[in-house]
């Protein structure tokens, strides 16, 4: 008789499966991951994954929804609406960078999501966040804290894409910086550069 008295007390195998799924999916992608690996990581039998999530597709989707929801609530609380526009933007970008830095598996899963997955499931993703972000950038632009020669949405996208690249391609970044001996660039300094970029202030001093 197999002793299965261990699993029951946990009472939340679903959660273990979702966490195991995130770990394995993030490491190997949708097609690279196997239900057996996930089951082992979660410490449950493989059949249970199907019981709770219907199948591989369903699990992938659930993991995705979960990390998106977590990110959205984090970002919604990250920026104090009472803050003046320039400080608001600074806080927003810093929170964005910090969140993904502290959630590397979720970050990598999102990278996979760009390519892999059962169906190119263009979810109604961070649409809300985007709108909120653009509004904030526009406010900052009106207040004169952001260069006026580009649409605020573009400034937002540019900031986000640069931060993402900074996170997922540290090696290439380092290569490029090492040429001039600047390879030890800290996150804070990097963020300041991004801010200066969209501020546009310092000018090149076209000699």
Partner DNA sequence: ACGTTGATTGGTCAACCGATCAGTGATAAC
Partner DNA sequence: GTTATCACTGATCGGTTGACCAATCAACGT
CB < 8 Å & 24+ apart, contacts of 98-107: 99/71, 99/74, 99/75, 100/163, 100/164, 100/167, 101/167, 101/187, 103/67, 103/70, 103/71, 105/22, 105/23, 105/26, 105/27, 106/22, 106/26, 106/67, 106/70, 106/71, 107/167, 107/168
Cα→Cα distances 35→46, 60, 114, 115, Å? 6, 11, 21, 20
Q: Please say which residue, 2 or 181, places its beta carbon nearer to DNA.
A: 2
With binding defined as CB under 8 A, does residue 165 bind its own copies?
yes
- Residues numbered 9 to 48 that lie near DNA (CB under 7 A) are 10-11, 13-14, 33-36, 44-48
With binding defined as CB under 8 A, does residue 107 bind its own copies?
no
Site mask for DNA (CB under 7 A), range 41-60, x = bound: ---xxxxx-xxx--xxx---
Q: Please say which residue, 13 or 198, places its beta carbon nearer to DNA.
A: 13
Min separation Cβ 120 and DNA, Å: 17
198 neighbors 159 (Cβ within 8 angstroms): yes
- Residues numbered 3 to 62 that lie near its own copies (CB under 8 A) are 28-32
With binding defined as CB under 7 A, does residue 181 bind DNA?
no
| 52 binding partner (options its own copies, DNA, none; Cβ < 5 to 8 Å by kind) | DNA
Determine the Cα–Cα distance for residues 89 and 160; give it in Å rounded to an integer: 12
Burial class (CB in 10 A: 0-12, 13-18, 19+), 20: buried
With binding defined as CB under 7 A, does residue 121 bind DNA?
no
Min separation Cβ 61 and DNA, Å: 12
Residues that bind its own copies (CB under 8 A): 28-32, 108, 111-112, 114-116, 122, 126-127, 130-131, 133-135, 138, 143-154, 156-158, 160-162, 164-166, 168-169, 171-173, 175-180, 182, 185, 190, 193, 196-207
């Amino acid at each position: 008789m197999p002793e299965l008295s261990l699993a029951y007390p946990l009472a939340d195998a679903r959660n273990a499966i979702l966490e195991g799924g995130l770990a394995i999916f993030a490491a190997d992608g949708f097609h690279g991951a196997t239900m057996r690996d996930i089951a082992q990581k979660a410490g449950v039998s493989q059949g249970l994954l199907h019981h709770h999530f219907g199948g591989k597709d369903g699990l992938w989707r659930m993991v995705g929804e979960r990390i998106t929801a977590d990110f959205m609530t984090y970002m919604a609380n990250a920026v104090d609406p009472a803050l003046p526009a320039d400080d608001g933007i600074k806080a927003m970008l810093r929170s964005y960078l910090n969140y993904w830095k502290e959630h590397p598996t979720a970050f990598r899963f999102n990278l996979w999501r760009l390519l892999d997955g059962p169906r190119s499931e263009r979810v109604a993703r961070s649409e809300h966040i985007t709108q909120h972000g653009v509004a904030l950038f526009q406010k900052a632009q009106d207040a004169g804290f952001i260069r006026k020669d580009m649409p605020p949405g573009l400034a937002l996208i540019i900031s986000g894409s640069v931060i993402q690249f900074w996170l997922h391609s540290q090696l290439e970044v380092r290569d490029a910086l090492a040429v001039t001996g600047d390879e030890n660039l800290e996150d804070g300094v990097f963020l300041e550069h991004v801010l200066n970029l969209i501020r546009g202030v310092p000018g090149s001093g076209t000699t």
